[in-house]
Structure 1
Amino acid sequence: MTQNLLRKIVCSFFFVLGGLIYSQTVTGTVSDATGTLPGVNVIVKGTSNGAQTGLDGMYTLNDVASDAVIVFSYLGYLTQEIPVNGQSTINVTLEEDVAQLETVVVVGYGNQVRKEITTAVTSVSEEEFNRGTINNASQLLQGKVAGLSIYNKGGNPNDSGVIRLRGLSTVGGNTEPLVVIDGVLGQSLSNVDPSDIKNITVLKDGSAAAIYGSRASSGVILVTTKSGRSNQPFSVEYNGQYGVSGAVNQIEIMNRNEFLAVGGTDLGSDTNWIDEVTRNAFSQVHNISASGGAENSNYRVSFNYRDTDGILVNSGFEQVNVRANFTGRLFDDKLRINFNSAFTQRDSEFGFNEALRYAVVYNPTAPVFGADAPFNFNSAQFGGYFQTLGLFDSFNPVSIAELNRNEGNTTTINYNVDFKYSFSDDLTATLNIGNQVSKTNNNQYYPTTGFFRGGALSPFRKGRVDFYTNEARTQTLELYGTYQKSLTDKLSMKFDGGYSFQENDFNDYFLSLGDFPPGINFDFSNIIEISQDLNEAGRVNAASSRNDNDRIIAFFGRASFAFDDAIFLNASLRHEGSSRFGSENQWGTFPSVAVGADLNKYLNLNNVSLLKARVGYGVTGAIPPGVGLSQTTFNVTNGTGGFGSSSTGLGTRLANPDLKWEEKQELNFGIELEMDRFSATLDLYNRDIVDFITAVSIDAASNDGFTSQFQNAGELNTKGVELTLNYDVIRKENVNYNMGLVLSTYQTTLEKNPGGDRTIANLGAPGQNDTEVILVREGEEVGQIWGPVFTGEVDANGTPILADVNGDGNLVTDQGSALAEDGDFAVLGKGFPDFELGWTHRVEFGNWDINAFFRGAFGHSLVNTFRVFYEPRIGSQSSYNYVNTDLARDDIRTAQFSSYYVEKADFLRLDNLTVGYNFDIKEDSFIKSARISLTGQNLFTITNYTGSDPEPAFQDQGAVDNGGTPAANPDVLAPGIDRRYNYFASRTFTLGLNVKF
């Protein structure tokens, strides 16, 4: 017994001694390119001996054999294995696994592995976004996604522009994609600061978007904002930008000497009116964010401030945006709670685009101020400004910009709470509750001394003020579950299904007052008190509307199958109801199915990692463009005894209880190829929009006096091709050069036209009131510019000679006869481009990086309305300036619209050029990273178009004459008109600074 005890003591001694000799403690720090990484898994290979890095990125491993191998792994980074070789300190820098980061894509109500996606989906990361002065999040994507058209013609900072995905998706309803921010439907890109966005995914085809039903008819844009991460130390990041903009490509007009040489009226001065109403516009952007996280929670809070001037004086906006994100995990990580909230306050000076218009045409010899006039002029009557009295459509542009006010503010508050519970590794349930409240106030003021829009010379009212207020509230609730299971070694499935509810409440009111005493000071707060004669006709105009309980309810499901890691099937079904329809037609069903196959799994092509073919078909709906369109409406005329004493109702719109869902049916075929350095995606699609909802004129005599009715009465067809190419031209240790090309083309045909063949888009006054320039004809392409053809010759009276298009020897240029196809009109161009491109170049060398982005559109034309009205040398126009482009002719002295004023507007633009430098930062520095950049936007444009901006005009807000205002609802069937109120193009230079602490 004593010997056995002695033997155990000796063995234990040598065992401990061996452990001391052959095992040790290893410590170190794990980092990435930007700093230390918390939460990294550190384990001795082949054992259960492991640890995680702490908030400072440090780890400690005990009892590590001197010949062991330590494995470092972290989601989104390449795993590293490092032999100990007797080392007691091992520091590691992990590299991002780009391929792994791109494998999971948000597709709505969840995500999918990119390889398994069978629909047309494009995901754009933060690194790929456009840079510079970005006023709206949509500009981040401009030219980056094939088929996605984003245009803010002229670049007005208060205008969010036009967004179209794969052309025109409807005529009367919403033509822009549905925006989903952090899982909440129906958001606005204006309510998220571009600096807070991590990723944007675009669902392009019907099979991808059908899961969102009626609101996805124009496509879907999914926005994912930045958030903190678990086990992350507290960190602060600052992004700052300072920019300056100036007008470029101004309308070419005559100076004083040129104007007088062609017989212009001399008013004694020399004024460059464009310079008087434009300026160097400065902007500044400051974004501060703080983020961090513990083992079961993380957070991110950001504060954004933007102060942006427009190149038009008294235009621009100031905006504050605060966004907060918090994620926590409870019950052994089974319950994840994610809370997002945002507050946006935007104060805008809208200015008056008309100041730019009249700066082009106002007499260049006129003085700015009446005191400078060479003759007796009562300048006090017009606020001190000179005015050319008695002339139609002629206002001093500086007085428009300075005397009047056009201001507004919008406050938006939104939040959503997302609860996700994991019952098991296979089954999860998610509840998402969201709420958004937005309030907008717009005020316009025209003083008694103003000459613009009913001021000093108006016989009806002296001065005017307009108030407009609206409040919108949106509530959402969505509950859905996900179940996924591997059925066999080769077959797996995933099912998503749930319930969706959304309610919109909206109310607004408008009040216009006039006839103020002279000499009052501008003050919105007391303008009602000082208004006179409020009971007299013409002095008061009021309107209001209210729309509550506008609801959409849906049930949806989606099934996905993967076989042999090569063949993939996705199918979805959404059953949706809207309160905007009558009780018999509230519900619609929207299915989709898509299949894809990685052909390389079986072909085993050299150097090819993916060769996927896919085909998908999906149906999406579109809700009516307004509430109550299926119901009867009346105009109420009050009797002389006052409201309600002898009122009569006159029917205007006939009820249509059969009004039903408008549908988009889309078939998409795609091919994806990925090789070592090269990748390509090709999509071909055909979509039919059937039963689109539009107002149709009806015979009043046979319909009890009703003159219109909303019907499902039209059809559109769009065919298109999209191509995306990406190639790593240079990929070396210190130099990388990547080039990407995005191309898209489409054509939309009006297959069924409820209103009959007609012309639209009146050019307006002076002199062109009966000239409509867009043809709407069944069976033909949408957006055709139409009119007489100029032969290039002019008669002795200075009148352009028009062509005998049909060759019958009889020149007929009456628009009605031409529409009946017995006249001499022709298609002069098209408003939509034949194809669009985005061309990206990204270069990295050492600490430097360069990003150059070109954007272009080709095949579209524009009606240059400035040339139509002000280029002919009309003798009676001697008090207006003349447009003096390279196309101007001295011998044309009659205003006649023709092909002469329709210009090809092809362009290629260096849209964005950024040069950046990343500073070397010491490892123990308080600053973790720092970057400085310089960006130029709209640096040059190659085009033959003589107007200010050759970008397509996708819709038309109508003619604006003698101080009128553009239409509130643009006509989407009338593209291609460059109106006189469009904003001037600008060039911007921005200095940016990014610092992480």
Structure 2
Amino acid sequence: MLAAAGDATAQDSTGAITGVVRARDTGTPVARVGVSVVGTRLAAETDPEGRYTISGVPPGTYHVRARLLGYAAGDTTIVVQGGQPIRADFRLQPSAIELNPVVAVGYGTQRKADLTGSVGSVASKDIQTIPVARIDQAIAGLVAGVQVQTTNAQPGSVMRLRVRGGNSIQGTNDPLVVVDGVIGADLDQISPGDIESVDVLKDASATAIYGARASNGVIIVTTKRGQPGKIRFAYSGYTGMQDVTKHIDVLSADEFARLYMRNPNHDKSVTFDTLSQVPTTDWQSLVYHTAPIRNHEIRVSGATGGTSLMVSAGWFDQDGVVRASDFGRGSLRFNLDQDLGPQFRLGTRASYSRSVGNQDRVNAGYGSGGGAVTAEALRFAPTIPVYDSAGNFSGPLFPSQTMDNPVAIVNLLSDKTTTDYLIGSLFGEYDLVPGLTLRSSLSYTSRNVLEQQYASRLLRAALGSGQANIDNNDQTTWLSENTVTLHRTLGGTHDFALLGGFTAQQTRTGTNSEQGVGFTSDELGYKRLNLAETVTGSSSSSRTRLLSFLGRLNYSLAGKYLVTGTVRTDGSSKFAANNKWATFPSAAVAWRVSDEPFFRRLAPAVNELKLRLSAGRTGSEAIGAYQSLASWSVGAIYAIGNVTYRNGAHPNRNPNPNLRWETTTQYDGGLDLTLFDNRVTFTADAYHKVTSDLLYSKQVPYFSGFASYVTNIGKVQNRGLELALDTRHTVGPLELHLGGNLSANRSKVLDLGGDQEFFRAGANSSLTLIRDGAIIRVGEPLGNFYGYIWDGIFQDSASAARSGQDGARVGGDRLRDLNGDGVVDSNDRIILGNAQPRWLFGLTSFATYKSLSVSCVVRGALDFQVVNLNRMGMETPGGSTNMLRSVLDYWTPSNPTNTMTGLGIGPNSLMTSRWVEDGSFVRLQNVTVAWAVPQRFSTRLGMGQLRLYVSGQNLHTFTRYSWYDPEVSSRGTGDLELGWDDSSYPGIKTFTFGLNVDF
């Protein structure tokens, strides 16, 4: 039983500590309790009778602690006299707290109590109470400093995930994902049911071990293993229904017809038989519907005789609330660990998934033009029936309009994406001597994405010419990692852990694209591109390599003073010959103040107080292959003589021999605090990080013969604060758990390589006058909107005449002359808002009473804005497409409203504050009510455990934003495209019923 630290030898003058540990509520002995002398390596574990003995204790006064998972820690102070035993008994209070003593860090694990960096953790029990398709959906609102954003609610869409804000202005800001040690894995292809834990590494001390890819944080996912005991069979599944969170309030047919006919500029060729009983076609109800969602998983697991096995299979199936959209994913996983004697261990992790998604192209046109189905469901005239008298899909109000019947779009437009994802790894560990371990692993990742699109020639927007597109992207990665770890304890108080190693990675990427235009029949579509009148295609391939050397030192002095040092050197084939290599160091220190004798006397209610400081540098290579090299474009046709044409080539990019790594330097200070028998935990972190040598594709003058080149141009700063609080309490059979987190991040552009500002296209190509509505400016945060201040409506001709505004008229939009020069021009533009939330928060609650439990997750984002481009095309009173009902309050001399233009007067086409709305929201993310069937009943049915539950997801969002969802981002998930809402997929609320059972 004795577990004395180091090689210390007991002397005659030393004493011993003995005692018995019992449960406070029952008085029964508790086995396997860890009893330790705080500040030393002297410790022991209780036997089945609850007894323990710690020998070799020098004379002195000591703080002794007893700890076991599921119990509040017990503490006492004793005095040991030379050669004398001393007795210290403990009665531990059962606790609802489930400590997470070990977390995943880069290339290993570490006791959470010994962390010197900032790490957030989510356990499998927290993930599996929320029925979702993706892991990142489940952790939304659970980790401070982590933003999980549903920018597109369409089934199968990618989530936007950020850790401590965005660093880069053009490169990826997505965190690095590591699944079972495999770097660069995809979260969207992994079943949440297979997850054991998710650990988020946030500061440089924690992430620097991953060097070149860790600037945006690291998410480490550990999948489940077989647990000791007999083989267990488990099934989990749920089924439910989804519906749109809201319908947009548009004009009825009668209101549309009356308003259009009142428009003095209306087309006189359009008439309505009657203006009192015009039948309404509710296009939203025809396009949107209540859609089912289903998930089924089976799992076989167990461990015995040195073998641990877990095998799982799952099927997820989700229909979209917009007809013709859906997503399905099948997955298989095989995890095996095998001990080949006391020193040698082998293991493998393998998974395969195939997903098939049918998408509604909500953010892009199709064919030769046209709008998304989500836009046309709102704008298509409600006076038009679905079918005409001949049984064909009806056209728009005017033959000249290229917009399509929304039901026709659903039926005649297809966009299918098939993804095959394979990830496998094989690893071995060998203990040369106790405390010295060699580990080697080899992993392979393959991702193949095939997208097949077809727009029927019958769609008006296709201009009578069917169009098919096939795009195939294939990527394979080999990764070899080899490490050696050494752990030693010297003198009973000095604890060392050393890690060293090297890794080598190669990635090959190939793309193929084909397009066919001009089909005489829609029968075969993209299945026979050779039937098109015109067929074009292109292909590309690339290879990148990364070689790395890494090392880490963890040192602990008496368990109170902790030091971590990390260094990694990466060499990437993406950069120029002079800058292929970069080194990324970090250092961190922590002080467990609560183990100091003086602190014990001052704060007896404090179980643990640890202070942390860290600093380090990480990098990014988020550019494509060969960007530092000159490139040529092949394909331009040149005439030779009078009759011969040949493909030609011309240079399209100059070399950049100075292209180098984008690097992020980060400083972090934090504290970890537990109180009142570990019932209250509190964590706080403040950070400051600066990203330098930003990678950016910079435009160059046309006379140079080139359009742009990738270079390093400047710096971006992020500062932030993270707070997390967790409380748990038990009153008889009632267990309560309340938690919350709050984070703030402020970004700032420090330098743009000599420029003061860049403009970015936030709107789509049809809104040319607001394409400079996004701006990057030195001294300002990323994500700013830029334009004119909307000043209401011109109420009289005199004010319009003297405004200095082009196109000013009575009843039209009025823009503010900010500089007072009497002219409204580009000099009057100003920053109108920002797409980045200043505050993020999450609240969790969990209550259990006997076999009944209720859980709730609320999350929110505050102080950010969204540009609602949908309103721009739907606020013209008397327009020829359907409008919002708010246009009924249009301006007239007798109704001098200052919020809506007059009949037939459209909004100003410039970027103005009229379209910028407050996006702040508080969302009831999830509510789950579960019943664990008592075992006396489940065993009669041949089951070990049976849990039934009902759950609601995205039940309600409290917000002032007028459209579907303030988290939307129609232009993409990048930090510079964020916050533009244009024809977005509607938000979804989901209700499910499910069960978990094992045998």
Give me the TM-score of the superposition, normalised by structure 2.
0.83
- Helix, strand or coil at the partner of 2:246: coil
8 Å CA contact 1:172, 1:625 repeated in 2: no
Within the candidate set 904, 926, 933, 1:912 is matched to 926
Within the candidate set 551, 558, 568, 1:574 is matched to 568
Letter of the aligned partner of 2:356 in structure 1?
D
Asked if 1:976 is matched to 2:976, the reply is: no
CA distance in 2 between partners of 1:79 and 1:445 (Å)? 62
Asked if 1:522 is matched to 2:524, the reply is: yes
Q: Report the alpha carbon displacement of residue 339 of structure 1 after superposing the two structures with TM.
A: 1.0
Match of 1:989 in 2: 991
Asked if 1:780 is matched to 2:793, the reply is: no
- Helix, strand or coil at the partner of 2:184: coil
Superposition map of 1:375-414 within 5 A:
384-392=393-401, 394-414=403-423
Q: Report the alpha carbon displacement of residue 229 of structure 1 after superposing the two structures with TM.
A: 2.3
Q: Report the alpha carbon displacement of residue 95 of structure 1 after superposing the two structures with TM.
A: 12
Deviations 1:671-696 (A, max 9, x none): 11111221111111110000011112
CA distance in 1 between partners of 2:776 and 2:98 (Å)? 50
CA distance in 2 between partners of 1:44 and 1:207 (Å)? 42
Q: Report the alpha carbon displacement of residue 173 of structure 1 after superposing the two structures with TM.
A: 1.8
- Helix, strand or coil at the partner of 1:275: helix
Q: Report the alpha carbon displacement of residue 137 of structure 1 after superposing the two structures with TM.
A: 1.4
Superposition map of 1:52-201 within 5 A:
101-129=99-127, 131-201=129-199
Letter of the aligned partner of 2:509 in structure 1?
F
Match of 1:949 in 2: 965
Q: Report the alpha carbon displacement of residue 31 of structure 1 after superposing the two structures with TM.
A: 14
Give me the TM-score of the superposition, normalised by structure 1.
0.83
Match of 1:58 in 2: none
Q: Report the alpha carbon displacement of residue 951 of structure 1 after superposing the two structures with TM.
A: 1.9
CA distance in 1 between partners of 2:663 and 2:271 (Å)? 60
Match of 1:328 in 2: 338
8 Å CA contact 1:831, 1:952 repeated in 2: no
CA distance in 2 between partners of 1:697 and 1:515 (Å)? 35
Letter of the aligned partner of 2:737 in structure 1?
N
Match of 1:962 in 2: none
Q: Report the alpha carbon displacement of residue 473 of structure 1 after superposing the two structures with TM.
A: 0.6
CA distance in 1 between partners of 2:925 and 2:144 (Å)? 17
8 Å CA contact 1:719, 1:746 repeated in 2: yes
Match of 2:553 in 1: 559
Superposition map of 1:254-293 within 5 A:
254-263=251-260, 269-293=279-303
- Helix, strand or coil at the partner of 1:584: helix
Deviations 1:37-71 (A, max 9, x none): xxx998678899xxxxxxxxxxxxxxxxxxxxxxx
8 Å CA contact 2:889, 2:900 repeated in 1: no
Match of 1:415 in 2: 424
Match of 2:455 in 1: 446
Match of 1:374 in 2: none
Q: Report the alpha carbon displacement of residue 392 of structure 1 after superposing the two structures with TM.
A: 4.5
Asked if 1:343 is matched to 2:341, the reply is: no
Asked if 1:930 is matched to 2:946, the reply is: yes
8 Å CA contact 2:901, 2:907 repeated in 1: no
8 Å CA contact 1:761, 1:956 repeated in 2: no
- Helix, strand or coil at the partner of 1:638: strand
CA distance in 1 between partners of 2:981 and 2:250 (Å)? 17
Q: Report the alpha carbon displacement of residue 540 of structure 1 after superposing the two structures with TM.
A: 2.1
- Sequence identity (%): 26
8 Å CA contact 1:867, 1:883 repeated in 2: no
8 Å CA contact 1:470, 1:506 repeated in 2: yes
Match of 1:803 in 2: 816
CA distance in 2 between partners of 1:638 and 1:765 (Å)? 28
8 Å CA contact 1:131, 1:912 repeated in 2: no
Match of 1:221 in 2: 219
CA distance in 1 between partners of 2:257 and 2:645 (Å)? 62
CA distance in 2 between partners of 1:952 and 1:133 (Å)? 22
8 Å CA contact 1:791, 1:801 repeated in 2: yes
8 Å CA contact 1:202, 1:219 repeated in 2: yes
8 Å CA contact 2:379, 2:881 repeated in 1: no
CA distance in 1 between partners of 2:771 and 2:172 (Å)? 28
Match of 1:596 in 2: 590
Q: Report the alpha carbon displacement of residue 370 of structure 1 after superposing the two structures with TM.
A: 2.3
- Helix, strand or coil at the partner of 1:780: coil
Match of 2:692 in 1: 690
Q: Report the alpha carbon displacement of residue 590 of structure 1 after superposing the two structures with TM.
A: 0.3
8 Å CA contact 1:198, 1:226 repeated in 2: yes
CA distance in 2 between partners of 1:144 and 1:551 (Å)? 35
8 Å CA contact 2:413, 2:455 repeated in 1: yes
Q: Report the alpha carbon displacement of residue 859 of structure 1 after superposing the two structures with TM.
A: 0.2
8 Å CA contact 2:402, 2:460 repeated in 1: no
Task: Kindly tell me the number of residue pairs found equivalent between the two proteins.
Answer: 870
Within the candidate set 376, 393, 398, 1:358 is matched to 376
Q: Report the alpha carbon displacement of residue 273 of structure 1 after superposing the two structures with TM.
A: 0.8
8 Å CA contact 2:256, 2:882 repeated in 1: no
Within the candidate set 826, 830, 837, 1:826 is matched to 830
Match of 2:203 in 1: 205
Structure 1: segments with no counterpart, 5+ residues: 1-29, 33-39, 49-72, 81-93, 372-377, 457-461, 533-538, 819-823, 958-969
Asked if 1:855 is matched to 2:866, the reply is: no
Q: Report the alpha carbon displacement of residue 899 of structure 1 after superposing the two structures with TM.
A: 1.6
CA distance in 1 between partners of 2:70 and 2:814 (Å)? 71
Match of 1:725 in 2: 725
Letter of the aligned partner of 2:539 in structure 1?
S
Q: Report the alpha carbon displacement of residue 476 of structure 1 after superposing the two structures with TM.
A: 0.8
Q: Report the alpha carbon displacement of residue 884 of structure 1 after superposing the two structures with TM.
A: 3.2
Q: Report the alpha carbon displacement of residue 825 of structure 1 after superposing the two structures with TM.
A: 2.2
CA distance in 1 between partners of 2:682 and 2:559 (Å)? 21
Match of 1:966 in 2: none
Match of 1:844 in 2: 848
CA distance in 1 between partners of 2:864 and 2:771 (Å)? 21
What is the root-mean-square deviation in Å for CA atoms of aligned residues?
2.9
CA distance in 2 between partners of 1:489 and 1:223 (Å)? 34
| Aligned CA distance change for structure 1 residues 995 and 914 (closer, same or farther; 3 Å) | same
Q: Report the alpha carbon displacement of residue 707 of structure 1 after superposing the two structures with TM.
A: 3.9
Task: Select between 133-142 and 278-287 the one with higher mean Cα deviation.
Answer: 133-142
CA distance in 1 between partners of 2:235 and 2:785 (Å)? 49
- Helix, strand or coil at the partner of 2:713: strand
- Helix, strand or coil at the partner of 1:936: strand
Asked if 1:486 is matched to 2:501, the reply is: no
Task: Select between 550-559 and 647-656 the one with higher mean Cα deviation.
Answer: 647-656
Q: Report the alpha carbon displacement of residue 809 of structure 1 after superposing the two structures with TM.
A: 4.8
Q: Report the alpha carbon displacement of residue 234 of structure 1 after superposing the two structures with TM.
A: 1.2
- Helix, strand or coil at the partner of 2:772: strand
Structure 2: segments with no counterpart, 5+ residues: 1-29, 33-44, 54-65, 74-91, 262-269, 273-277, 363-371, 797-809, 891-898
Letter of the aligned partner of 1:578 in structure 2?
S
Within the candidate set 872, 889, 895, 2:907 is matched to 895
CA distance in 2 between partners of 1:661 and 1:771 (Å)? 30
8 Å CA contact 1:301, 1:325 repeated in 2: yes
Letter of the aligned partner of 2:458 in structure 1?
T
Match of 2:744 in 1: 745
Letter of the aligned partner of 2:217 in structure 1?
G
Deviations 1:844-901 (A, max 9, x none): 111111111111111001111111221132x5x3234346389984445331242222
